[in-house]
Amino acid sequence: MKPLIQTFVMHFGEMGSRWGINRTVSQIYALLFVSREPLHADAIVEALNVSRSNVSMGLKELQAWRLVETQMEPGDRRLYYRAPEDVWDIFRTLAEERQRREVDPTLSMLRSALLSEPACEDERHAQQRMEQMHEFIEMLTGWFAEVQRLSPQTLTRLMRLGSSVGRLLELADRGGRLPSPN
């Protein structure tokens, strides 16, 4: 592996473990992300110096997350893997998978907890706090659903506006007048 690529792959592995993702899975993804050509499992094993079984399990996990695409090469029976090209597609996929795996089950549990009858004052207090959390997560998932509909170009423009919009909203919160949109 070239030094620049190795630096990125190793850093991504370290960061992945901080995000709760297996280090090798993160490294496999990083390698596929920066590779010019799709790679087969043996090339990944060689590049990362990890076991074939580790690479196979990592590729299965990345496929389950919809973060790698497979293809066949003419005259070769091996599967080749590549990361999607568009970083917005990658972000959307990650966000959708996180929502499906983490947010949706939490919302389901909160809905169930909110439907139960509290047996004491402590449960009533806990239920009020859970209701606040439920409302926040519902608002956030609604916002995210709206953002998901935006084109990458619009999302880029929106993100670039972020700090300016934040300063305007802070001004409005302090009783200041917002400038006219004209």
The pLDDT of residue 20: 84
Residue 42 pLDDT more than 70? yes
Q: Per-residue pLDDT averaged across 60-85, rounded?
A: 94
Mean pLDDT of the chain: 91
Considering just the CA atoms, what is the radius of gyration of the chain in Å?
22
**Higher-pLDDT residue of 179, 157:** 157
- Rounded-to-integer distance, Cα 53 and Cα 32, Å: 17
The pLDDT of residue 158: 82
Where does the pLDDT of residue 65 fall: very low under 50, low under 70, confident under 90, or very high at 90 and above? very high
Where does the pLDDT of residue 102 fall: very low under 50, low under 70, confident under 90, or very high at 90 and above? very high
Domain boundaries, the chain: 3-82, 87-149
Partners of 69 in the β-ladder: 82
Q: Where are the alpha helices (DSSP H) in the chain?
A: 3-18, 23-34, 41-48, 52-64, 87-98, 104-115, 121-148, 152-173
Residue 181 pLDDT more than 70? no
Q: Per-residue pLDDT averaged across 158-171, rounded?
A: 74
**Higher-pLDDT residue of 89, 31:** 31
**If you count them, how many residues does the chain have?**
182
User: Domain 3-82, what architecture?
Assistant: Orthogonal Bundle (1.10)
Residue 118 pLDDT more than 80? yes
The pLDDT of residue 150: 87
Share above pLDDT 70 across residues of the chain, in percent, rounded to a whole number: 95
The pLDDT of residue 17: 87
| Range with the poorest average pLDDT among 90-104, 129-143, 158-172 | 158-172
**pTM (predicted TM-score):** 0.75
The pLDDT of residue 35: 97
Residue 147 pLDDT more than 60? yes
Residue 66 pLDDT more than 80? yes
- Rounded-to-integer distance, Cα 79 and Cα 158, Å: 38
- Rounded-to-integer distance, Cα 12 and Cα 98, Å: 18
Q: Are 78 and 41 in contact (CB under 8 A)?
A: yes
